[in-house]
A and B are shown apart, each in its own frame.
Chain A
Amino acid sequence: ETGVTQTPRHLVMGMTNKKSLKCEQHLGHNAMYWYKQSAKKPLELMFVYSLEERVENNSVPSRFSPECPNSSHLFLHLHTLQPEDSALYLCASSRTDSDTGELFFGEGSRLTVL
């Protein structure tokens, strides 16, 4: 059983919709991440939060808006997405963002934009 849970697991939305992805970690970690995984592309880091403060934003379009209300919860708010945004969105956590390499992932939210 994963210590990081993501909802919804699947999401289909139109380009004009607004939706949110939710991530919750039960591991007592201080760092949380959003990654995008597309077919035939490596994992792309989108955002990093450390102790609820955003510490990394990898040139992600503004139609993706993260929110971290506390160290256990992370959201990704989506609006006016494009079909090319269809992908698996993975949330991860680590004890701190200074840990090198050990990330714990949720099962992902598979997003389809029509």
Chain B
Amino acid sequence: RKEVEQDPGPFNVPEGATVAFNCTYSNSASQSFFWYRQDCRKEPKLLMSVYSSGNEDGRFTAQLNRASQYISLLIRDSKLSDSATYLCVVNSNAGNNRKLIWGLGTSLAVNP
């Protein structure tokens, strides 16, 4: 089993749609979780951290389910500019960034 697993997609959705991605992780001791966004031929950028209680940032909502070992990202009212690859990142060591485990990413295409 991969340490961090994501559905690669691609997800093709129309503008205005709601889309959700899941990411599962294998290490139950993992401490922190993140979603990064990577545009085509660009660098990854932090989209949001994922907190135990769930968190929202505008149209984006992230949730953590420790019992089932998955995190999710919900995008409401999709925009064309949301088209990108969304990378799930899990940190198995709360003390430093050396144990960040990256998923392969889920590709999203928002169509007009």
- Measured CB to CB, the residues of A under 8 A from B are 2, 31, 33, 40-43, 45, 48, 55-56, 90, 94, 97-103, 105-108
Contacts and interface: CB of A to CB of B under 8 A. Distances in A.
Given A42-B4, A42-B104, A43-B102, A101 B43 contact: no
B95 interface: yes
A64 B95 CA distance: 27
A31 B97 contact: yes
Given A103-B46, A106-B43, A98 B91 contact: no
Main secondary structure of the interface of A (DSSP, over half): loop
Contacts of B105: 42
A2 B44 CA distance: 11
B97 A99 contact: yes
Interface of B: 4, 31-34, 42-46, 49, 87, 89, 91, 94-98, 100-105
A42 B43 contact: no
B43 A33 contact: no
B98 A45 contact: yes
A101 B89 contact: yes
A107 B97 CA distance: 20
Given A40-B104, A42-B4, A43-B44, A101 B96 contact: no
